[in-house]
Structure 1
Amino acid sequence: MTVTRLVVFFICFLFSTVTSALTSEQQAVLREIEKNIVSSPQMLGTFAQTKRLPQLPRPLVSSGVLAISEELGLSWRIENPIESHRIFKLDDADFGNRINSNIVGNHVADPLLKIISGDFSELDQTFTVGPQIAEEQWRINLIPKQEAFRKVIESIEVVGDKKIRKIVLAEANMAITEIDIMNLHSVEANNSQLLSEFSEDNQK
């Protein structure tokens, strides 16, 4: 099963689909982005997350490691300031219900998997998709179609070039979360760090 199929699985678990065809111009822009983005069955990278809350004078900053595998799913491990590790697997029968309280699972994991897979067109099932290309950088604005989702997340903006570089979540409570994706690279299926990231013993 490809990474793209894995992403479709996660999206369908979380949200019921609403059919809304992209315009021919949007489809052309997405095809151009998909053609140029680098993807692989297994990928490792790091992230830096900054969350700004209107009631707090300083942002909340965290960082960690992410791993994606078409066989194993998504691993999201926060290293600083407090260690936390979640693994989202393809065979989790109760996936949709189990992660409702987890921001990564609800609002980052699924779009992230689909975006990194380079199959942006499938996002149209769940989001109103607004793609743009300027020189060597692309930008995709995602507006959730489901009202229940919009009550939590108003929009997701994704920026990249050959790879995904940044995700910005605008939450309904006026909080803004920025996630910078760094050092994202392909690895072999037997890579020791990849396998370690998906170890159930490491979940916290």
Structure 2
Amino acid sequence: MKPFSGWAGRALVLLLLACPLLAQAFDLEQLGAQLAKPAVVRGPFIQEKHLRALPQPLTSRGQFVLSREHGLLWQLHSPLQQDYRIGDQGIARRTPQGWQQQPGQDVAAQQSRLFLAVLRGDHAGLADDFELQLSGDAEAWQLSLTPRSRLLQQIFSAIHIQGGALVERIELAETQGDSTLLRLPQSQVDDSLSEAERLARAP
């Protein structure tokens, strides 16, 4: 009788074929490294706020600049103009008197910190507050977040993120039935901030 014949041989072949697939499985470490690699990511954003009381979503548009070193600059262009700076120190809003720190416990602040962690690929930080479930591969992936903490459970019921080389879509489902959809349709990477972007961050 020849070795590895019959069902045993077929099982061995299937196992050998599966090994490269298992080795190439796309995981959270790889996703984090992929998203954290660019020094700068910039592009337009479209944000839709879906409220139960309104038949149409509230839509806002603007530009964002994510710097690995400096955090996130969020420039709202419509329906009003307003700049936000989001970093490890929290969220600040630009006023005629300069940048002013904002309260850290409201929904906007929670969303801002979440956006920063997601765009940075900070899966370790996200895992402190959420159960993470990743599917897909490096070119087309989906990440689902389920809140762990009681505070976040009072705000979000689930968060779904999709992307490829960069984050392309973030959907936040709120506990009370409202939701927010953020689309980043034309993000681009760069090695450094432009002069205008550096000035926009200045105190």
TM superposition score category, shorter chain reference: 0.7 to 0.9
Contact preservation (8 Å) 1:40, 1:117 = no
Partner of 2:71: 73
- Give the CA deviation at 1:102: 5.2
Contact preservation (8 Å) 1:39, 1:186 = no
For residues 1-204 of structure 1, the aligned pairs below 5 Å read 29-34=27-32, 36-37=34-35, 39-91=37-89, 98-101=103-106, 103=108, 105-107=109-111, 109-133=112-136, 136-200=139-203
Deviations 1:129-166 (A, max 9, x none): 11111694110011111112111111111100111000
Q: Percent identity?
A: 20
AA aligned opposite 1:155: A
Question: SS at the partner of 1:98?
Answer: coil
Q: Distance in 2 between matches of 1:136 and 1:73?
A: 25
Question: SS at the partner of 1:82?
Answer: coil
Structure 2 gap ranges (5+): 1-24, 93-99
AA aligned opposite 1:54: R
Question: SS at the partner of 2:118?
Answer: helix
Q: Distance in 2 between matches of 1:135 and 1:93?
A: 30
How does the TM-score come out when normalised to structure 2? Answer: 0.72
How does the TM-score come out when normalised to structure 1? Answer: 0.72
Deviation >4 Å, runs of 4+: 35-38, 91-97
AA aligned opposite 1:152: I
Instruction: Point out the structure with the larger strand share.
Output: 2
- Give the CA deviation at 1:91: 4.5
Q: Residues 121, 170 of structure 1: CA spacing in aligned structure 2 closer, same or farther, 3 A cutoff?
A: same
Structure ranking higher on relative contact order (CA contacts 8 Å, 6+ apart):
1
Structure 1 gap ranges (5+): 1-26
